[in-house]
């Protein structure tokens, strides 16, 4: 989608709130400016220091504001890096973008040397190709100068650029530069405020930033699903994404927002099934469940069977664990194909699968084309690894498998 990904810094990649408030408090207290709350200070984050001090103190004299700015900078040189924390999603997200071959830059009203100090402290300077700070532009955001300077540096057109920021100032800067924008709700700007500007997406966290080469897995949870068959998909794909920068995401769905498992564990799903567009996903995961907890009431629902049909028609992987294969069989897409399901207790579930016209194979895992089936909960992790391999590569799967202790 995009060749160049540009980010704001404060409240977007990092939380500098503690250091920023500390520095403002130092200056305001020194000049006996009273009645300024921490919240008022936080609302100025993203503005230039001169603008922030004008807002907070009411001073308009440029000489006075410059003096306050210098005092802030001196204090920030002492405390800012130690009081700046990257969001936990930042490093995995940057790794995914670099792994996919994208260029990455930071455009901020913060001084470049201070941003670079934080990147070096975290050992990730190599993940960012360019930092443009306040000292690198004549006019700060929302003027588009910084973004345009980055485009010139990388030789990109506006259509090739995505800018990500936490503030309406960032949204306006992207608009002024003519580039796409994604908002992130880690700052003080609300979703409603972002609605006043053009954007591609408003995200809860940076974990939602897509490299354009990522894979999205939809996992359907019927009521009465088995948690042991649910968790391997979450953990294996999570390890791949978080520890190795592999751009694969998992979205849960069900018929209702809160789905209760076989043993009364409630899970809030990301989407209800009626909101799902199969075209948005690359694979379908189906944990099995217990009949006595109502699993088949939802797993056999025609709306879900149609969803299975659509995934199969588009040749997308469908990974099931244990009796998760039964709705796939009932949908008809396994007719005259090989598959398996729960094999114990005289194989009564395998007989049910056979009644759907399936060629049942009594093996731990059976793969026929795009469909992965398995015969009991013990196979759950291996199915998760098989799905990861289908979506990425054998090499990627094996490194995650080894890191999780399954490769020994």
Query: Has residue 408 been placed in a domain?
Result: no
Beta bridge partners of 252: 219
Q: Are residues 399 and 313 in the same domain?
A: yes
Q: What is the mean pLDDT of residues 6-26?
A: 95
Q: Are residues 203 and 125 in the same domain?
A: yes
Reduced to 3 states (helix: H, G, I; strand: E, B; else coil), residue 285 is: strand
Beta bridge partners of 10: 14
Residue found by looking up tokens 């408090």 in the block = 25
Q: Are residues 247 and 368 in the same domain?
A: yes
CATH number of the CATH domain containing 104: 3.40.50.1000
Query: Has residue 298 been placed in a domain?
Result: yes
Give the separation between CA 242 and CA 228, rounded to whole angstroms.
Answer: 21
Q: Are residues 234 and 255 in the same domain?
A: yes
Q: Are residues 274 and 375 in the same domain?
A: yes
Give the separation between CA 381 and CA 364, rounded to whole angstroms.
Answer: 12
The predicted model scores a pTM of: 0.65
Closest CA to 110 of 136, 87, 91: 136
Closest CA to 107 of 5, 231, 228: 5
Q: Are residues 132 and 258 in the same domain?
A: no
Domain end, chosen from 208, 224, 242, is at 208
CA torsion angle 99 105 111 116 (round to 10): 20
Give the separation between CA 116 and CA 132, rounded to whole angstroms.
Answer: 10
CATH number of the CATH domain containing 40: 1.10.150.240
Q: Are residues 258 and 375 in the same domain?
A: yes
Instruction: For residue 244, name the pLDDT band (cuts at 50, 70, 90).
Output: confident
Q: Are residues 232 and 297 in the same domain?
A: yes
Q: Are residues 42 and 95 in the same domain?
A: no
Q: What is the per-residue pLDDT for 213?
A: 65
Q: What is the per-residue pLDDT for 212?
A: 65
CATH number of the CATH domain containing 285: 3.40.50.880
CA 375-379-383 angle, to 5 degrees, is 100
Q: Are residues 225 and 305 in the same domain?
A: yes
Domain end, chosen from 26, 48, 83, is at 83
Give the separation between CA 87 and CA 199, rounded to whole angstroms.
Answer: 22
Q: What is the mean pLDDT of residues 21-46?
A: 93
Q: What is the mean pLDDT of residues 339-348?
A: 96
- Answer whether the bond into residue 45 is a cis peptide, omega within 30°: no
Give the separation between CA 165 and CA 185, rounded to whole angstroms.
Answer: 9
Q: Are residues 58 and 104 in the same domain?
A: no
Instruction: For residue 211, name the pLDDT band (cuts at 50, 70, 90).
Output: low
135-148 pLDDT per residue, tens: 999 999 999 999 99
Reduced to 3 states (helix: H, G, I; strand: E, B; else coil), residue 143 is: coil
Closest CA to 380 of 213, 226, 265, 241: 226
Query: Has residue 315 been placed in a domain?
Result: yes
| % of the chain with per-residue pLDDT over 90 | 90
Instruction: For residue 207, name the pLDDT band (cuts at 50, 70, 90).
Output: confident
Instruction: For residue 99, name the pLDDT band (cuts at 50, 70, 90).
Output: confident
Domain end, chosen from 83, 105, 124, is at 83
256-309 pLDDT per residue, tens: 999 999 999 999 999 999 989 998 899 999 999 999 999 999 999 999 999 999
Q: Are residues 311 and 250 in the same domain?
A: yes
Query: Has residue 159 been placed in a domain?
Result: yes
Tell me what the pLDDT averaged over the chain comes to: 94
Following DSSP, what letter does each residue of 217-265 receive, concatenated? EEEE--TTB-HHHHHHHHHHHHHHHHHH---EEEEEEESSSEEE-TTS-
H helices of 268-316, in order, are 295-299, 302-313
* Domains in the chain, number: 3
Domain of 279?
A: 215-403
Q: Is the pLDDT of residue 46 over 70?
A: yes
Q: What is the per-residue pLDDT for 408?
A: 63
Q: What is the per-residue pLDDT for 209?
A: 87
């Amino acid at each position: 989608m995009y060749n160049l990904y540009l980010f704001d810094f404060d409240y977007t990649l990092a939380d500098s709130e503690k250091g920023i408030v500390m520095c403002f408090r130092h200056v305001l207290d020194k000049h006996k400016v009273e009645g300024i709350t921490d919240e008022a200070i936080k609302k100025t984050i993203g503005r230039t220091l001169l603008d922030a001090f004008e807002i907070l103190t009411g001073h308009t004299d440029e000489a006075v504001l410059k003096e306050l700015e210098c005092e802030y900078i001196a204090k920030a040189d002492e405390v800012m890096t130690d009081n700046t924390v990257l969001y936990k999603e930042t490093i995995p997200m940057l790794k995914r973008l670099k792994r996919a071959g994208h260029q990455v830059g930071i455009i901020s009203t913060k001084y470049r040397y201070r941003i670079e100090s934080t990147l070096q402290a975290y050992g990730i300077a190599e993940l960012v190709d360019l930092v443009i700070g306040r000292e690198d532009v004549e006019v700060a955001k929302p003027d588009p100068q910084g973004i345009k300077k980055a485009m010139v540096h990388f030789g990109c057109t506006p259509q090739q650029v995505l800018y990500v920021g936490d503030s309406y100032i960032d949204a306006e800067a992207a608009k002024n530069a003519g580039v796409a924008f994604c908002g992130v709700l880690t700052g003080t700007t609300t979703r409603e405020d972002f609605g006043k500007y053009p954007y591609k997406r408003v995200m809860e966290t940076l974990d939602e930033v897509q490299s354009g080469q990522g894979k999205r897995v939809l996992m359907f949870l019927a009521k009465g699903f088995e948690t042991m068959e649910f968790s391997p998909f979450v953990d294996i794909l999570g390890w791949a994404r978080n520890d190795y920068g592999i751009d694969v995401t998992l979205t849960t769905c069900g018929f209702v927002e809160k789905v209760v498992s076989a043993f009364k564990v409630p899970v809030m799903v990301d989407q209800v099934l009626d909101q799902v567009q199969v075209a948005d996903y690359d694979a379908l995961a189906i944990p099995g469940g217990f009949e006595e907890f109502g699993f088949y009431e939802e797993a056999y629902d025609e709306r879900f069977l149609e969803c299975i049909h659509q995934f199969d028609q588009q040749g997308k992987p469908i990974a099931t664990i244990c009796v998760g294969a039964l709705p796939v069989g009932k949908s008809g897409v396994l007719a005259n194909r090989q598959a398996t399901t729960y094999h114990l207790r005289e194989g009564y579930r395998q007989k049910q699968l056979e009644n759907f016209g399936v060629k049942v194979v009594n093996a731990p895992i059976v793969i026929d084309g795009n469909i992965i089936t398995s015969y009991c909960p013990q196979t759950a992790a291996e199915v998760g690894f098989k799905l990861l391999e289908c979506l990425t590569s054998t090499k990627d799967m094996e490194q995650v498998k080894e890191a999780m202790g399954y490769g020994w």
